[in-house]
Amino acid sequence: MVESTAKLKIEDLKISYGDKQVVHGISFEIPRNEIFGVIGPAQSGKTSMLKVINRTIDFTANAHVSGNVKIDGEDVFKVKDVYGYRRRIGMVAPLPVGLPLTIYDNVAFAPRSFGLTDKDQLDALVQRCLEQAALWDEVKDRLGSLGTKLSGGQQQRLTIARALSHQPEVLCLDEFSIAIDPVTTMKIEDVLKELSSEMTIILVTNLVQQARRLAKNTMFLLNGELIEEGATDHIFSGKASNPKTNEFVSGAFG
Amino acid sequence: MLHRSKGKALREALIEWLIRICGISAVIFVFAIFFFVFWEGKGLIFNNKVNINTASIEAITKVEGIDESLASKIVSTRSEIKLEKRLTTEWLLKEDLLDEDTFVLIEPFIKAKEFSFWKFLTTQEWYPASESNPRYGVFALIAGTFSVTLLSMLISVPFGLGSALFISEFCSPKLKETLKIIIELLAAIPSVVWGFIGLTIMNQLIMSIFGAQIGINVLNGAIILALMSVPIIVSIGEDALQAVPDSYREAAIGLGVTRWQMVYKVLIPAAKNGLLAAVLLGIGRAIGETMAVLMATGHAVNNPFDGDFPFLHALESVKTLTATIAAELGETARGSDHYQVLFIVGILLFSITFLVNLTADLVVKGIKNK
Q: What is the pLDDT of residue A205?
A: 86
Q: What is the pLDDT of residue A2?
A: 44
Query: Shortest CA distance to B283 belongs to which of B360, B211, B346?
Result: B360
Contact state of A85 with B256 under an 8 Å Cβ cutoff: yes
In the chain, the amino acid numbered B222 is A
Q: Indicate the angle between helix axes B337-369 and B268-288, nearest 10 degrees.
A: 180
- What is d(CA B151, CA B305) in angstroms, rounded to the nearest whole number? 12
Q: Please, what is the average pLDDT of chain A?
A: 86
Q: Considering the entire predicted model, what is its pTM?
A: 0.77
Q: Does A46 touch chain B (CB under 8 A)?
A: no
Contact state of B266 with A101 under an 8 Å Cβ cutoff: yes
Q: What is the pLDDT of residue B100?
A: 65
How far does the CA of residue B266 sit from the closest CA of chain A (Å)?
Answer: 6
Q: Does A178 touch chain B (CB under 8 A)?
A: no
Q: What is the pLDDT of residue B110?
A: 56
- What is d(CA B60, CA A164) in angstroms, rounded to the nearest whole number? 90
| Residue B262 with chain A: CB contacts under 8 Å | none
More confident residue, B225 or A61: B225
CB hemisphere CA count around B51 (13 angstroms): 26
How large is the C-alpha radius of gyration of chain B? 28
The answer on pLDDT for A178 being more than 90 is: no
Residue B221: exposed, middle, or buried by beta-carbon count in 10 A (0-12, 13-18, 19+)? buried
pLDDT tens figures, A65-89: 888 888 888 888 888 888 888 888 8
pLDDT tens figures, A158-173: 888 988 888 888 999 8
In the chain, the amino acid numbered B292 is A
What is the arrangement of strands in the sheet containing A20-31, beginning at the earlier edge strand? A20-31, A6-17, A63-71, A74-75
Would you give the end-to-end CA distance of chain A in angstroms? 29
* Count of positions (residues) in chain B: 370
Q: Does B175 touch chain A (CB under 8 A)?
A: no
Cβ-nearest to A99 among B173, B252, B256 = B252
pLDDT tens figures, B339-358: 888 999 999 998 888 888 88
Residues of chain A with pLDDT > 70, as a percent, come to 97
Helices (H), chain A: 46-53, 82-87, 103-113, 119-132, 136-139, 152-165, 182-195, 208-214, 232-235, 243-249
Query: Shortest CA distance to B370 belongs to which of A183, A145, A241?
Result: A145
- What is d(CA B142, CA B119) in angstroms, rounded to the nearest whole number? 13
Q: Does B176 touch chain A (CB under 8 A)?
A: no
Beta carbons within 10 angstroms of residue B288's beta carbon: 15
| Residue A54 with chain B: CB contacts under 8 Å | 254
Report DSSP state, residue A200.
E
Q: What is the pLDDT of residue B333?
A: 81
In terms of DSSP bridges, do strands A200-205 and A217-222 run parallel, antiparallel, or are they unpaired? unpaired
Q: Which helix (H) or strand (E) holds A32?
A: none
Helices (H), chain B: 6-46, 57-61, 68-81, 89-94, 100-110, 117-122, 139-165, 173-187, 191-197, 203-210, 218-242, 246-254, 259-262, 268-288, 291-296, 321-328, 337-369
Are residues B134 and B54 in contact, defined by beta-carbon separation less than 8 angstroms? yes
Beta carbons within 10 angstroms of residue B309's beta carbon: 6
CB hemisphere CA count around A74 (13 angstroms): 10
Sign of dihedral through CA atoms A207, A209, A214, A215?
positive
More confident residue, B32 or A44: B32
Q: Does A109 touch chain B (CB under 8 A)?
A: yes
More confident residue, A47 or B130: A47
The answer on pLDDT for A4 being more than 70 is: no
Low-confidence ranges of chain B (pLDDT < 50): 49-54, 81-86
